[in-house]
Structure formats: C-alpha cells, structure tokens
Amino acid sequence: MEMKINSGLVKKLRAKRLLSQEELATACGVSMRTIQRLEADGKASPETLKALAAVFEVSHDYLLNNEDEIGEYHNVQFGSVVIIFTSAVVILLSVLLVLNIIDRRIFLPGVLIMTLVCCLFSLMSTRVTPKNVEWHFTLGFWKKSISLSKVNSIARVRNKYWWGLGIRLIPDGWLYCVSGLDAVELKLESGKVIRIGTDEPEELFQALESSILKLKT
C-alpha cells in the first residue's frame, strides 16, 4: 500500500543535510528511482516512509503532514551587510563631525540617507506559491510578483560582488539582494532575467522547481 508523503518537505530535509538523491537512496536502502518518484509525486511505501523518518530523525506523522504544500516556501533574509555598511558610514560621519572635518549640513543628510537605506533594505522576504514567486524588502517596499507560468528556466547562481546590494540593474535583467552572493536566477519567456538573492539557494530552487513542475503537469 502506497502512502502520500509531503514531497516538498522531503526535499527540504534532504537539502539541509546536503544529501544528493543517490545518497538519500543509499541511506534508506532503496533505489534512486524510488527517491526521484517520491520527490515528484509524494508516493511511497510504508517501508520507505519508515526509512526516511529514521534517516531524517523525524516522526512518521511529520513526513505525512501536508500543511506545507509542494512549492510553498517562505524565507526572510536579514540584510546583515547593509546594516553593517550603513552603521559604519554613520559612525564615520559622526567622527568627522566631532573632528570638525564636516559640518551638520553634511552630517544630518548623510545620517538620514543611511538610516533610510538601512530601514528599507534590512530584510528581504521571498515567497513561492503554487503559481507565483513574490518578494519584497522591509515593510513591503518594492513588492514584486512573477507568474511561474512565464518562467522558462531557473538556476542557482553566484552574483558578481561588484554588482552590489539592493535593487540593481545587471546584464539582461535585475538583481534583488540584501546580503551575500547567492541567488536563484529566473529566465522569463520575454528573455528578461531576474535574480533573487537568498541565504537558502537550494531551498528556494527546490520550491520553484516543484511549483513549476506542478504547473506543467
């Protein structure tokens, strides 16, 4: 008798443990084809469920919990680099003011700008639903949404460090990022490229892949 397992959850647990499908299959004592089918449609035997629970060190019920639907994903990344940079600039401006190298006409606008940048880009929220990928910065600033039906391909990528952070125009498209160099790139039907920065590139990629595959079936 086959059982319905939360395949999206299995993918997340496998990714967090840095296991390939082949390695997970070996650990569970099943074929890689079994793992591939499980991650595609969530169908598995009671024996496979038991083996997965043992490998992931979770309960059977946890793997059967379908509240986290395939493709459902939400992550909030804190902009640590932005926070550190803007704080450093404010400290530098304060030192320059104390040393009378600059006056308040420069200090106050500079602090205001850095505070605004820090507030707007201190975090980035990314959500994948069965039909869309959505993202925005702090307090819903610059909220964007793309229909996954318009996505031709996705890939895990590393950004060029000189591209910077925030909202950036890059070759063929746009980059949205608050910290780090990891991102997932979406190539749209229009030829446009969107790169979404993330501290969970594998999880975001898997969620996007699951939702896109589900839309095509």
Query: What is the domain partition of the chain in residue ranges?
Result: 3-64, 80-120, 123-216
- Give the model's confidence band at 65: pLDDT under 50 very low, under 70 low, under 90 confident, else very high: low
Q: What is the distance between the alpha carbons of residues 153 and 106, in angstroms, rounded to a whole number?
A: 47
Tell whether the model's pLDDT for residue 87 goes beyond 50.
yes
pLDDT (0 to 100) of residue 130: 86
pTM: 0.65
Q: What is the pLDDT of residues 140-198, one digit of tens each?
A: 889 999 999 999 999 999 999 999 899 999 988 999 999 999 999 999 998 999 999 99
123-216: CATH topology: PH-domain like (2.30.29)
Would you say domain 3-64 falls under CATH 3.40.50.150?
no
Tell whether the model's pLDDT for residue 139 goes beyond 80.
yes
- Quickly list DSSP for the chain: --EE--HHHHHHHHHHTT--HHHHHHHHTS-HHHHHHHHHH-EE-HHHHHHHHHHHT--HHHHH--SS-TT-EEEEEE-HHHHHHHHHHHHHHHHHHHTTSS-HHHHHHHHHHHHHHHHHTSEEEEEE-SSEEEEEEGGGTT-EEEEGGGEEEEEEEE--GGG-SEEEEETTEEEEESSSSEEEEEEETTS-EEEEE-S-HHHHHHHHHHHHHHHH-
Tell me the one-letter amino acid at 44: A
The overall average pLDDT reported for the chain is 88
pLDDT (0 to 100) of residue 166: 92
Tell whether the model's pLDDT for residue 66 goes beyond 60.
no
Tell whether the model's pLDDT for residue 77 goes beyond 50.
yes
Burial class, 202, CB count within 10 angstroms (exposed 0-12 / middle 13-18 / buried 19+): middle
